[in-house]
Amino acid sequence: MHTFLRASLVLALPLAFLPAPPAVAQTQPGASQDAQSAEIKRLRQDLATLRASYEARLQALEQRLQAAEARLAAAPPPAPSGAQACAGGWGAPAPAPATAAAPPAAAPAAANGFNPAVSLILSGLYGRTTRNPSSYAINGFGLPPNAQIGPGGRGFSLAESELGLSASVDPWFSGQAHISLHPDNSVTVEEAFVQTTALGHGLTLKAGRFYSSIGYLNSQHAHTWDFVDAPLAYQAMLGTQYNDDGVQLKWLAPTDAFIELAAELGRGLSFPGGDNDRNGVGMAALSVHTGGDIGLSNSWRAGLSVLHAKASGQALQGLDAAGGVIPSAFSGSTRVWVADAVWKWAPNGNAARTNFKLQGEYLRSTRDGDLTVDPDGLARTAGYRPLASGWYLQGVYQFMPAWRVGLRAERLHAGASAGVYAPSGRRPGKYSLMLDYSPSEFSRVRVQFARDRARPGAGDNQFFVQYQMSLGAHGAHSY
């Protein structure tokens, strides 16, 4: 070690540290032999002088190095820390020497260290339909009068913009809020919850208002959808998206394969629940999801979920066989089963240039209770136990960077048990084709054409142009 260090010092010795070599006289051609011999003797003397000076300086550096090593070996060991002193004996830790340098002052916190991350999703829409959207209904299904279904209004609109806030509360909790801004200038709170960050054992507890984890699409915000609107099955059986006020416990299994279980208890705030004024629980949900990778290019996820919600005097309206609107009120319980699956492909796991996603869900809904038809008039009440089902299947292909194309097919089945909302003989269905362009991960422009046959009568041709722009710090989306 010492030999290597000495050699390094020799090699790194600055040229400025050495004495300047004496000027060498040039011997002119034709000089006498005595003059040349004198010149050679002088050169040898200069070389000997240079060598002696160099060796003297090298020896001085070696002596300084040896002295430094000796001082280091003779120095006392550093004082132990407080924890080490207490572990080694009863005495208090020795105080730091007076000459010890004071620790540097902590760097000041960032100006926004305690401020939440803020994001804003700006979304606009142009819609053109061949049938009037104000009379939109789904054949064979009764839904609340304020259900957000159908294509929305014609012409230009703001669509649904979203303001998001998120931050860590402390080492144990974090919080999020998502506020939706609607085209009619109304404001709703989609999500506002706190969740734990340090329970351990793969557990996470959430409390507040949040989208349920049932299915695949339900927990995703509208700006992350691959199409302008939600599938018909979600509109007919979940009122487009189910969120609630309550608590949720998730467990992520410590296994190589992805396995996640979720249990929820809530108020029963939205359809198919009825936001009842009760002390007890109005909604309960369970879901299990699993998934994994297949090689380098493929990944998948699948799950099964069930939602149980209660309602009392829930206002509904739907269409009779002749297409007339029927007002009614439902009291009872609803159970919705959801089976979902998604498969993603990207060459060697790199989705930047090209990728493909195949996604599908099957929903099955049963209601058990009483239905009062025309509650403000004749008020006829009878048992109501409809069985409904629906599915959608969609594929989205990114064929080059920033460009995607997608196709979605969907179908609903209400059945004869729909009661007063008897279907007119044709199952509601829809086909949608979309093309979108994303110049960056923060902006997207989409065009979509759909052939909607959810209502009795002629089909509805729907054309949309949509933009979505993300401002601020927006968190990553789930798989």
- The predicted structure's pLDDT at residue 73: 67
Closest CA to 411 of 389, 396, 441, 433: 389
Q: Rounded distance, CA 154 to CA 464, Å?
A: 9
Name the pLDDT band for 109 (thresholds 50, 70, 90): very low
Is pLDDT above 80 for 71? no
2-6, 129-133, 142-146, 314-318: least confident range: 2-6
For residues 395-401, give the mean pLDDT.
97
447 vs 434: CA distance, rounded Å: 6
Q: Give the pLDDT score at 23.
A: 46
Q: How confident is the model at residue 32 (pLDDT cuts 50, 70, 90)?
A: low
- Between 12-16, 406-410, 459-463, the lowest mean confidence (pLDDT) is in 12-16
Mean pLDDT of 417-437: 84
390: confidence class by pLDDT, cuts 50, 70, 90: very high
CA distance 199 to 216: 25
Estimate to the nearest angstrom the gap between the alpha carbon of 227 and the chain centroid. 18
User: What whole-number distance in Å separates Cα of residue 147 and Cα of residue 138?
Assistant: 11
> Is the predicted pLDDT of residue 103 greater than 90, yes or no?
no
Summarize the confidence of residues 275-304 as an average pLDDT: 92
Q: Does residue 428 have a cis peptide bond before it, meaning omega lies within 30 degrees of 0? A: no
Please give the pLDDT value at position 9: 44
The pLDDT tens digits for 182-202 are: 888 899 999 999 999 999 999
Question: Looking at residues 38-59, what average pLDDT do you find?
Answer: 77
Q: What is the pTM of this model?
A: 0.75
Residue 250 has pLDDT above 90, yes or no: yes
Residue 97: pLDDT band with limits 50, 70, 90: very low
Residue 466 corresponds to which tokens in the numbers above?
Answer: 């949509």
Give the pLDDT score at 112: 53
Q: Is the confidence at residue 40, as pLDDT, over 90?
A: no
Question: Cα–Cα distance between 319 and 421 in angstroms, integer?
Answer: 6
362: nearest Cα among 231, 242, 227: 231
Q: For residue 81, what pLDDT band results from cuts at 50, 70 and 90?
A: very low
pLDDT exceeds 60 at position 106? no
> Binning pLDDT at 50, 70 and 90, where does residue 34 land?
confident
Predicted confidence (pLDDT) at residue 254 exceeds the cutoff of 80: yes
pLDDT of residue 58: 74
Write down the pLDDT at residue 75.
Answer: 60
Which pLDDT value is given to residue 478?
73
> Residue 94's pLDDT is what?
40
| Mean pLDDT of the region 265-280 | 87
Residue type for position 273: G
Computed over every residue of the chain, the mean pLDDT equals: 84
Q: Summarize pLDDT for 330-359 with one digit per residue, the tens.
A: 999 999 999 999 999 999 999 999 999 999
Domains and CATH numbers, the chain: 118-472 (2.40.160.10)
Higher pLDDT, residue 456 or 287:
287
pLDDT for residue 10: 43
Residue 471's pLDDT band, with cuts at 50, 70 and 90, is very high
Give the model's pLDDT for residue 1: 47
* pLDDT of 52 higher than 60: yes
